[in-house]
Homo-oligomer: A and B are copies of this chain.
Amino acid sequence: MNLNILDFERPIYELESKIEELKNFMKEQNIDLTEEIQLLEDKMVKVSETIYQKLHPWQILQIARHPERPLTSDYIQLICDDFLELHGDRHYGDDQAILGGIGLIEGNPVTIIGHQKGTTTRENLQRNFGMAHPEGYRKALRLMKQAEKFNRPIITFINTPGAYPGIGAEERGQAEAIARNLLEMSELTVPILVYVIGEGGSGGALGIGVGDRIIMFQFSYYSVCTPEACATILWHDTQEAKNASEALRITAKDLLEIGIVDDVLQEPRGGAHRNPVAMAKNLKQSILQNLVHLKTLSKEELIAQRYSKFRNTGQYLDIQINQSNQI
């Protein structure tokens, strides 16, 4: 049994197994079951669509955190013609929770920076489960400045539960590192594309998340804090996490509506982990399309657009104006 099957995926998984079974049976017994298989396959598509069309945010969160969900390194491998990882912040260390480097996508030089989780327990410890220390954010900034110098677009992949909350991280200025990145990224003179590929956890996500386009994968989430933390802090009850995941409006669809993200990238049926190659194809296409558009802008236009983009986030009441309207 595959332990990585999520509850709501089970019906699909079971249909898949049955189809597989029939196929094997057909082969072994040399009996034609094509029609039956086709029926089951149709059913599976339908069931899938039904399930994935009305996923609860909590379920989306599960997909975003799925242990088999493709990682930054997977996408890099799938979309780049060539890629060289570059290491280190030149100050303190090389944080493996953030991966960065230079490469070519269809011949276009790019700098790619992303949170990097592990696939094994050992690698996850090494990568700190994608939770970066200040040196991770500073490595990212170094590579972004380098990209700016060489007029290279920047692509970031967000996939972190959050910045690491630990003694060393605080000592070395986690807050300063993130703040500095927000400030500097807002004025980099090259296009920046931000993709939320899995978990978008709070300031730790935003630390590499200021860009000209913020695009979420269909089954990723992006949140001011994890629903678990929200439930604990506001309602002192972790059982409320599921409700928090709804209240916080963390899904791609929600955030597109609210105006936080620019686009949602559709995932293959069942999520990116069921077909990383197809997902990477969507991603690559999105990157190239966006770059072509952004490269038509002058540096001044680019920065001005990026500024307004963030300048205009937020919803508040302007009482003065309301009053004026009423007089």
Residues of B within 8 A of A138 (CB): 91
In the assembled complex, how far is the CB of residue A72 from the closest CB belonging to chain B, in whole angstroms? 25
Band of interface residues on A: under 10
Residues of B within 8 A of A176 (CB): 90-91
Q: Is A173 at the interface (CB under 8 A from chain B)?
A: yes
- The 8 A CB mask of A297-325 against B (1 = contact, 0 = none) is 00000000000000000000000000000
Residues of B within 8 A of A173 (CB): 90-92
Number of identical monomers bound together in the oligomeric complex? 2
Q: Is A281 at the interface (CB under 8 A from chain B)?
A: no
Q: Is A46 at the interface (CB under 8 A from chain B)?
A: no
Q: How far is the CA of A90 from the CA of B90 in the complex (A)?
A: 14
Residues of B within 8 A of A236 (CB): none
- The 8 A CB mask of A159-182 against B (1 = contact, 0 = none) is 000000000000011001000100
Q: How far is the CA of A91 from the CA of B171 in the complex (A)?
A: 9
Q: How far is the CA of A138 from the CA of B172 in the complex (A)?
A: 14
Residues of B within 8 A of A134 (CB): 91
Q: How far is the CA of A92 from the CA of B134 in the complex (A)?
A: 10
Q: How far is the CA of A176 from the CA of B142 in the complex (A)?
A: 14
Would you list the 8 A-B pairs with minimal beta carbon distance, nearest first? A90-B176, A91-B91, A92-B172, A91-B173, A92-B92, A90-B173, A91-B172, A91-B92
